[in-house]
Amino acid sequence: MSCAEPRLVLLGRQGAGKGTQSNRLADHFGVMHVSTGDMFRTQAAQGTAFGLEAKRYMDAGDLVPDEIVVGVIEESMVPGGPLGGGFVLDGFPRTLHQARELDRVIAGFPLHLVIDLDVPREIVFDRIAGRRVCENCQRVYHVNLPPTHNWACDTCSGRVRQRDDDTEEAVERRLELYERETVPIVEYYRERGLLTLVDGVGEGDEVFERLVKVCLEQFS
Ligand code: AMP
């Protein structure tokens, strides 16, 4: 299949590197990076009623209710934006209901590929505990690989800090929800012939190369 504007979904446990890798993939293919988690965090930082409501769920490690998330995706998937121009979806869908709703919302612009970025549960714990994120542009760092100057983001100088929902209890809860709510989606996409599994263990650049390779195999 030849494809100038890919439409991709990246699935994976919290801490699998979905955020970083989907950002890089979107840049690489010149399409939009659509992250529901980033949208909620931006709204929460702005203090909107909607953002503060989403934050309550996020900080507890719970999923934001489907009707809210689907509404957000529906608003962002406009024909002049990601729908016509291609996208990398990061963090959506997370439930079977969301996967079915996505099919409805993007009707006429079907997905090209769904990647399951696979990192075992034990490894993601360590990654999440050390994760630090720019609160402005969402660039991801690690305590072992911080920004150059005093926790100011190398890209935008924003403050780099630990996410409020990266506490141990919240992470436990998110991983449990992932097994229960999101793993069934893997089957949903496998049955439709869209799923590819990519090993997410290793250096960021190495994982990125694997991702680009499977995309190119699919698109050319
Ligand atoms: P993420 O940055 O993708 O890890 O998302 C952070 C948090 O936002 C999640 O733990 C959920 O509370 C919420 N969230 C993001 N995307 C979704 C979604 N598709 N469905 C439900 N909740 C979501």
CATH of the domain at 58: 3.40.50.300
Cα–Cα distance for residue pair 36/64, rounded to 1 Å: 10
- Mean of pLDDT values over 75-89: 89
Tell me if 91 is assigned to some domain: yes
Q: Does 1 have pLDDT greater than 70?
A: no
Tell me if 140 is assigned to some domain: yes
Tokens matching residue 162:
């630990």
Active site includes 94?
Answer: yes
Distance 106 CA to ligand 1 centre (A): 20
User: In terms of residue numbers, what domain contains 163?
Assistant: 7-219
Which helix (H) or strand (E) segment holds residue 173: the answer is helix 168-177
Cα–Cα distance for residue pair 45/130, rounded to 1 Å: 22
pLDDT attached to residue 220: 72
Q: Which residue has the higher pLDDT, 71 or 78?
A: 71
Cα–Cα distance for residue pair 165/55, rounded to 1 Å: 9
Which of 7, 131, 132, 139 is flagged as catalytic? 131
Q: Does 2 have pLDDT greater than 60?
A: no
Residue range 141-170, pLDDT digits in tens: 999 999 999 999 999 999 999 988 888 788
Count of domains in the chain?
1
- Mean of pLDDT values over 47-70: 92
Distance 185 CA to ligand 1 centre (A): 15
Q: Which is nearest to 162 in space by CA: 41, 47, 54, 24?
A: 41
pLDDT attached to residue 173: 86
Of 40, 43, 66, 67, the one to substitute when testing ligand 1's pocket (max ligand atoms within 8 A of C-beta) is: 40
Tell me if 1 is assigned to some domain: no
